[in-house]
């Protein structure tokens, strides 16, 4: 609505309007408009605005102003649902036991837990190792919400985690526990390592019938003692 129309409606509704006599310091300049006075014969008569005409008049200037003034454009952020859908979510338990580096895929966001530690301890005892296993770390992806990325970023992050631990521990080999068929896992990070692939410890806890199958593979580790 234009300033003239705005003031005219205020006057019709008998709402007094105030205008400063001079511009205030630091304020934008005030537009002082001259309004037509009502004729004397109408001064004592109550004035009721035509609401239908008022509504129509409110719409017309608004559309004209919108056409004359381009709207403010704001950058549109990418939809978070797309980012979440493209972000892998997984957790890896890393354990040092018997001179081997054990890498197990566990449910996302879950710590291995006491039952898992007891399972690895039982495996070490069955292999005749006196040293108790220690769950060193649990790698979770995404690392943080702000560092969430796609498959390529997840692969690079996990590769950096694994290669860093392998360089520090210099193990006899790597025991991969789980499928590890997801695109975020790059087997090249285990290049130069002896790799023994078996059933996930987490799966063995849920299905004890998998233990004989896992043992058939794990008992070969004793040949490297």
Per-residue pLDDT reduced to its tens digit, 96-141: 998 999 999 998 887 788 899 899 999 999 998 877 777 778 999 9
What SS3 class is residue 204?
helix
pLDDT of residue 132: 74
Angle between helices 51-68 and 3-12 (to 10 degrees): 160
pLDDT of residue 23: 62
Q: How far apart are the C-alpha atoms of 61 and 5, rounded to whole Å?
A: 9
pLDDT of residue 81: 41
Phi first, then psi, for residue 120 (nearest 5°) are -65, -35
pLDDT of residue 147: 72
The ranges of the chain with pLDDT < 50 are 33, 35-36, 38, 42-44, 46-83
Q: How far apart are the C-alpha atoms of 92 and 137, rounded to whole Å?
A: 8
Angle at 64 between CA 35 and CA 49, to 5 degrees: 45
pLDDT of residue 56: 44
pTM of the predicted model as reported, rounded to 2 decimal places: 0.60
Task: Set out the domains of the chain in order of their start, with CATH numbers.
Answer: 88-224 (3.30.420)
């Amino acid at each position: 609505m234009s300033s003239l129309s705005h003031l005219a409606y205020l006057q019709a509704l008998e709402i007094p309007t105030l205008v400063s006599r001079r511009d205030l310091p630091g304020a934008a300049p005030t537009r002082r408009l001259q309004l037509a006075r009502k004729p004397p014969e109408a001064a004592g008569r109550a004035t009721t605005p035509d609401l239908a005409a008022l509504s129509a008049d409110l719409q017309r200037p608004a559309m004209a102003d919108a056409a004359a003034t381009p709207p403010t454009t704001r950058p549109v952020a990418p939809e978070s649902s797309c980012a979440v859908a493209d972000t892998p979510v997984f957790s890896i338990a890393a354990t040092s036991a018997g001179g081997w580096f054990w890498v197990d895929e566990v449910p996302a966001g879950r710590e291995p837990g006491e039952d898992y530690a007891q399972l690895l301890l039982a495996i070490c005892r069955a292999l005749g190792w006196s040293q108790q296993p220690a769950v060193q770390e649990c790698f979770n992806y995404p690392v943080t919400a702000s560092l969430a990325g796609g498959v390529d970023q997840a692969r690079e992050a996990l590769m950096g985690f694994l290669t860093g631990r392998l360089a520090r521990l210099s193990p006899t080999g790597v025991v991969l526990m789980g499928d590890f068929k997801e695109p975020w896992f790059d087997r090249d990070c285990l290049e130069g390592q002896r790799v023994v692939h078996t059933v996930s410890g987490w799966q063995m806890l849920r299905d004890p019938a998998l233990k004989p199958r896992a043992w058939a593979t794990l008992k070969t580790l004793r040949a490297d003692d």
